[in-house]
Copies of this chain bind each other. A is one copy, B any other.
Amino acid sequence: MSRKSLPIGIFDSGIGGLTVMQEVVRVLPGEDIIYLGDTARVPYGTKSRETVVKYALENAEFLVYRGIKLLVVACNTASAYALSELSARLSVPVVGVIEPGARMAVGITRTKKVGVIGTDGTIRSGAYFDAIKKIDSKVVVYLRTCPLFVPLAEEGWTDNQVALLTARVYLESFVEEGIDTLVLGCTHYPLLKRTIKRVLGEEVVLIDSAEATSHEVRRVLSEHRLLRTRQNRGRFKFFVTDSPQRFQEVGIRFFNAPIKARLVSIGN
């Protein structure tokens, strides 16, 4: 089997990475994809760098062992903490979600004031701040953690009063600061887009890193001459580290097709 015909590997701490997979499928419909959701150890956003790096390496090892041509780290916290370690250790190219989102934000902002929201881990790591400053040091970056957005998205409370009130508390300072671009630095946040827009106004552009990442995946595959050229649609395999049931149920909100996941044991 040629390397070209190997699948793309994607991992996330759980369900959120399905929004990234969805975009990759849209941009590269012919590619096979293996998705791993580490649902037994989700969430990563509140855990330490050491723990997240360990989990990320174990997840990557599982996918590489099955044979992949490129790894997508579809989790902002894992990208923030573990991307350089993964790139250094693996023989396949590795794409994270942070750099593509940062590049897109810098390309779009006119006021040079960019907001970034994410989990504790992602924000504390400084990864978005560094990535944006490296592309354009003149951009002013405003950071904010939004710990309740993930449980709200998983509860399906994305458009109710609780979501709106929570978004007001988290985001109102951005309005005064005058940002014109907001990076949704967590794969769960796109589900709250409408509510976020109600607080920030229609003129603020929301950057969904899933979209930016899918283009980066195509670029890297093309650069390595690993793009698959065929007419058939790709096949998908889903693996989870906790019972597939909840993943399959909640996954429908994140991925517009039925999901059949298999339970695997990782890190034991």
> Interface extent on A, as a size class?
20 to 34
List the B side residues contacting A151 at CB < 8 Å.
Answer: 147-148, 150-151
A3-33: CB near B (< 8 Å → 1, else 0) gives 0000000000000000000000000000000
> Considering the chains assembled together, what is the distance between the CA atoms of A161 and B147 in angstroms?
16
Q: Does A166 contact B (CB under 8 A)?
A: yes
Q: Does A173 contact B (CB under 8 A)?
A: no
17 more CB-based (< 8 A) A-B contacts, given A147-B154, A162-B162, A162-B166: A40-B41, A40-B47, A40-B51, A42-B46, A48-B242, A48-B245, A49-B243, A51-B243, A147-B151, A148-B148, A148-B155, A148-B157, A150-B151, A151-B151, A162-B169, A165-B165, A267-B268
- Nearest B residue to A47 by beta-carbon distance? B242
A219-245: CB near B (< 8 Å → 1, else 0) gives 000000000000000000000011101
Within 8 Å by CB of A246, from B40, B48, B161, B243, lies: B48
Q: Does A63 contact B (CB under 8 A)?
A: no
Q: Does A50 contact B (CB under 8 A)?
A: yes
A27-63: CB near B (< 8 Å → 1, else 0) gives 0000000000001111000111111000000000000
> Considering the chains assembled together, what is the distance between the CA atoms of A151 and B245 in angstroms?
23
List 29 A-B residue pairs with CB atoms under 8 Å apart, sorted by A's residue number. A40-B41, A40-B47, A40-B51, A42-B46, A46-B246, A47-B242, A47-B243, A48-B242, A48-B243, A48-B246, A49-B243, A50-B243, A51-B241, A51-B242, A51-B243, A147-B151, A147-B154, A148-B148, A148-B151, A148-B152, A148-B155, A150-B151, A160-B169, A161-B165, A162-B162, A162-B165, A162-B166, A267-B268, A268-B268
